[in-house]
Structures are given as C-alpha cells and as structure tokens.
Amino acid sequence: MVRFGLTVVRHGETRYNKDKILQGQGIDEPLSPTGFRQADAAGLFLSNVKFTHVFSSDLLRAKQTAATIIGKNKFCKGLEIKCDTRLRERKYGVAEGRPLTDLKAMAKAAGQQCPTFTPAGGETLDEVRERARDFFEFLCQLAADVGQIREKKDQEMHGATNRSSGMYEEESVFPWTDHCEFSSDNDGTSKLLLDANILVVSHGAYMRNWVGYFVSDLKCTLPANLTKTQLSSVSPNTGVSHFIIKLENRSVLKPEIICVCLNQDSHLVDVGAECVASKMF
C-alpha cells in the first residue's frame, strides 16, 4: 500500500479579495499586507511538517503564499516549489475584475444560481473539476512512483520488504495525526508513516470544486462534525485542509481518501478581523 499526505492551502488575501472583486485567472494581484500576515501565520502553523513536495498555482498570490509558508518551515526551506497551471483559479471570463455583485446579477438574469453560473468566456464547473481530477491523478502517480522506489531500496538494504523503515516519517505535530496510522519510536514519539507528504497552494473556487470531486466522485470520508454549510463554503484565505490518501497495490484508480480537516483557520485568530471565513456565493 502507498500512503501519502495532502495539505491544501488557499492563498493569502489580496486587495481584490478584501473588496470582493473577482480575480479568476486574468487578474494577477500580489498579496496585501494582511495576506502576507496570513501566509506567515500559515507558515508558522505548518512549520514542523516535513513536506516532500510543494506545488503552487502559477498565479502570483499563490506563489507568494507558497514561498512564505516554505520560508517558515524548519525542514523544507530549500524545497523547490513547482508551479502548475492546473491549480489556477476558475476562469470567470467577462466577470473578472468586476465586483462579485455583478456576477450574482448576471446569474440572476440568466435564471441560474451564482455558484453554477458560467459567465461568457469563463470555465464551467465541469471544466474546473476536470483540471482538479487530472492534477490529483498526477499526485497519486507521483506518490506511487515514490513508494515503488522506496520499496526497492528497502529490499536492497534489508533483503526483504520493510515498509516502516523505508517510509517517510512525520512527527506528530498537527490534529490530522488522530486519523492516521503510526509507528512508535523507543522514546514513545508517534510517527506518521507516509510515502510522500505534499503541500499544494491554490485558490478558493478551485479548491471547493476539488473537494466536491473528492466527495462526489471518490467518496472521500469526511470528519463527523463537518456541516453541509462548511462543506459548500469557500475556504478563508490561507485556510488549511488535510487529507490522507491510500493507494492499494500502488493503484491510482481507486484511491481511498480521508479528509482530516477542512478549511482549518485557527492560525488566523490573531491576524485580523479580515481573516474571518465568509461564503463567496
């Protein structure tokens, strides 16, 4: 079995976020001062997590957030951040650069609900989900390849498969560890056994569609206390979600996904009132 951790973080605030103006893909705003404080807070929150891979949308607000998080990390400061266009925000076409109220008005005029409405030149939800599906399958294959390499090294070193010694170990530093499988060192320290531990920095509407794909298509297991409103809401800026993915026999076709936390924002308590989670639609 291959097992990997997936931590997904929304980028920090931009001035367009604050003013409720749609950015999509065509508006490439940097982080605001609040956005950088949020990214710092997320970086400190994740500073003890030993990531093996980092991916970011190629849009500036996501890249700055990813760089800030890795810059705060105790173990990953030299880790390369790989940008991927599949992680871009949903394209909103003619609505980009316009207030969210304009998008709502367009949807109403078309007799549709705002979250599912596609403005002229924009992406449909199915198109966004296809991007998310393609990228996730890429991550599964990456983890499967890493697991195969480690298993081969284990066999060469020990003459027999010993998964525990070959797998990546992450110190138990975050609530997600309550939901995973561990080994214990002689000193009693709990270790989470992972073949890879991946950080992804992306965007609010994209992430909501990605979670929807996990839940509806892949039957992701959700936390027992998660409400429908929380599931349908857009993450706050630098909200953190964490998943454990298991691939039986290294097969990427039927991943088992456990959502450990969704849109975690406890690290934002002292950052400012702007950080309070809100629904976009």
Residues contributing to the annotated binding site: 10-17, 61, 89-92
Tokens of 66: 């990813």
* Catalytic option among 29, 53, 80, 89: 89
Known catalytic membership, residue 11: yes
Residues paired with residue 202 on neighbouring β-strands, in sequence order: 10
Cite the annotated binding site for substrate by residue number: 10-17, 61, 89-92
Known catalytic membership, residue 181: no
Instruction: Provide the H-helix boundaries in 113-266.
Output: 125-158, 163-166, 204-216, 228-232
Tokens of 30: 């940097």
CA 152 to each of CA 143, 146, 156, 163, 252: distance values in angstroms, whole numbers, following the listed order: 14, 10, 6, 10, 19
226 contacts: CB under 8 Å, gap ≥ 6? 259, 262
Residues paired with residue 244 on neighbouring β-strands, in sequence order: 5, 258
Work out the burial of residue 156: count CB atoms within 10 Å of its CB; fewer than 13 is exposed, 13-18 middle, 19 or more buried.
exposed
Contact at 8 Å (CB) between 162 and 151? no
> How far apart are the C-alpha atoms of 99 and 21, rounded to whole Å?
4
Residues forming the active site:
11, 89
